[in-house]
Structure 1
Amino acid sequence: MSARLIALRAILLREALRFTQQRSRFIAALVRPLVWLFVFAAGFRAALGLSITPPYQTYITYETYILPGLCGMICLFNGMQSSLSLVYDREMGAMRLLLTSPLPRWWLLFAKLIAGAVVAVLQCVAFLGIAAIYGIRLPLVGYLAILPAILIAALMLGALGLLLSSRIRQLENFAGVMNFVIFPVFFLSSALYPLWKMREAGPLLADLCALNPFTQAVELIRFAAYGQANLPALGWTVLAFVLFAALGVRGYDPGRGLTKSKG
């Protein structure tokens, strides 16, 4: 157990050092949700009406509604960025050294997921701070309850990235796959529009959004932001994490540090 904790600490420190040395990554992680919050939300505010639905007890602004979804956006992009770093490490040989250590392969990859999720939480904290300065604030209990929800969501999305990285062997192929995954996952969710709005557009569209694991992660964050537990969303998010992580770990060959996939 002590060896596993030492490995976890080393991986956390490595990811923290990489993150602090890549200031552009931190800025880019904040620019995307801030553009949605300050620019796009101003236009959608007049076009979209929002009814009183849980966890909200009164009418809210569109900026307030999309705040949890934008936290989910940060976790989604960070998960894809972490998976990109996995592909890069594999090509450079760092992943080969990591996976040939005597520690269990699943623990080493789980440590990578933990490190990426912690970075996502820090990015979300910075984003929520900027949003609070802008005037979009959560209840005090929400700032405490939202952190574990964001961590769980980040772990699930990081596991999705792990699964993708286990199927891609060349770095140049990853950008196209990222866009193919990110945009459907983000826009077919409740991050920007309530599910009842989606159902007005079409039952099939609403069903696709409801089945999207990212929707469950966003709803978990949304309820936690108001100090409420959404147990179904928690269950589906954890289940998606276990499934993605299991498939991702299986995709890595511990002997070569490469994937078994030919793609």
Structure 2
Amino acid sequence: MKHALQALWAIVLRELLKFGRQYGRLLSAIVRPLLWLAVFAAGFRNVFGVAIVEPYDTYIPYDVYIAPGLIGMVLLFNGMQSSLAMVYDREMGLMRLLLTAPLPRPWILFAKLCATAVLSLAQAAVFVIVAALLGTALPVFGPQTPMVLLAAVSAALMLGALGLLLSVHVKQLENFAGTMNFVIFPMYFMSSALYPLWKLEESGAEWVYRIAQFNPFTHAVEWIRFAMYGKDPGLSPWIVLGTLALCFAVASWGYDPQRGFGALTKRGGPA
């Protein structure tokens, strides 16, 4: 156990140190959601109001509504960027060295997943602080804080596990951008991050509404949103945790020496 914890700490510390040297990565992670908050939400502040529905007890401005979705955006993009880093490490041969460590392969992958979640949560925390300075204060502190942390950690782990799963199937860096276009944007726009699900149904976009209902990112955002107001998120936690377990299990299977990563190496594919 001591050896396993040392490996976990070493992998997390490596990712933190690498991230600390990439100032542009933090800047890009924060600028993207802030543009949505400061420009997009500002334009709709007096046009698009959110009715009194759960978890809200009163009418709220649009920027308050989309803020949890923008937190989800930070977690989503960092989870996908971790997938890019995994593909890069695999092409450079670093993943082969890491996976030959005398520890169970799922534990090594779990350590990478924890490192991704730590970076995601750090970036989300910076976004919450900057958003508050811009006038969009979120109810993250108070009796509901443990619920908010649990929701954010679970969402970060789920999206990191999804990125880990994608890294199994993305064989080269050149294919990464195309794959992300079919993952990031559909997951984000077909969710409740920018608009309530009832508005989708009310507008007649039935197929978008149905997809959003089954989108795990929707449930990650809804869990965070409901946790901020201390309300019951319904089935969202179970869907998020179930997706996390499924993605991590399939990714671990894909990195097995007899399949996925190991089999590609044996056939002479990228290491």
Whether these two folds match at TM > 0.5 is yes
| Structure 1 residue 131: Cα displacement | 1.1
Distance 1:210 1:161 in 2: 21
Tell me the matched-pair count.
Answer: 263
Whether the aligned pair in 1 keeps the contact of 2:121 and 2:153 (CA below 8 Å) is yes
Q: How does 1:182-261 map to 2 (within 5 A)?
A: 182-201=184-203, 202-254=205-257, 258=261, 260=263
What's the counterpart of residue 11 of structure 1?
A: 11
Whether the aligned pair in 2 keeps the contact of 1:96 and 1:257 (CA below 8 Å) is no
Whether the aligned pair in 2 keeps the contact of 1:95 and 1:257 (CA below 8 Å) is no
Deviates more, 1:43-52 or 1:176-185: 43-52
| Structure 1 residue 111: Cα displacement | 0.7
Larger RCO, structure (CA 8 Å, separation 6 or more): 1
Matched, 1:60 2:63: no
| Structure 1 residue 136: Cα displacement | 1.4
Q: How does 1:13-52 map to 2 (within 5 A)?
A: 13-52=13-52
What's the counterpart of residue 71 of structure 1?
A: 71
Structure 1 unaligned blocks of 5 or more: none
Deviates more, 1:133-142 or 1:219-228: 133-142
Structure 1, residues 221-258: CA drift from partner, whole Å, max 9, x if none? 10112233424110000000011111111111337992
Q: TM-score, normalised on structure 2?
A: 0.92
Structure 1, residues 98-147: CA drift from partner, whole Å, max 9, x if none? 11112011110011011100111111111111111112112332555322
Q: TM-score, normalised on structure 1?
A: 0.95
Distance 1:168 1:192 in 2: 29
Distance 1:229 1:67 in 2: 19
Other structure's SS at 1:74 match: helix
Compared CA separation, residues 90 and 26, structure 1 to 2 (3 A): same
| Matched AA of 1:235 | W
Q: Percent identity among equivalent residues?
A: 55
Whether the aligned pair in 1 keeps the contact of 2:155 and 2:220 (CA below 8 Å) is yes
Q: How well do the aligned residues superpose, as a CA RMSD in angstroms?
A: 1.8
Distance 2:262 2:59 in 1: 50
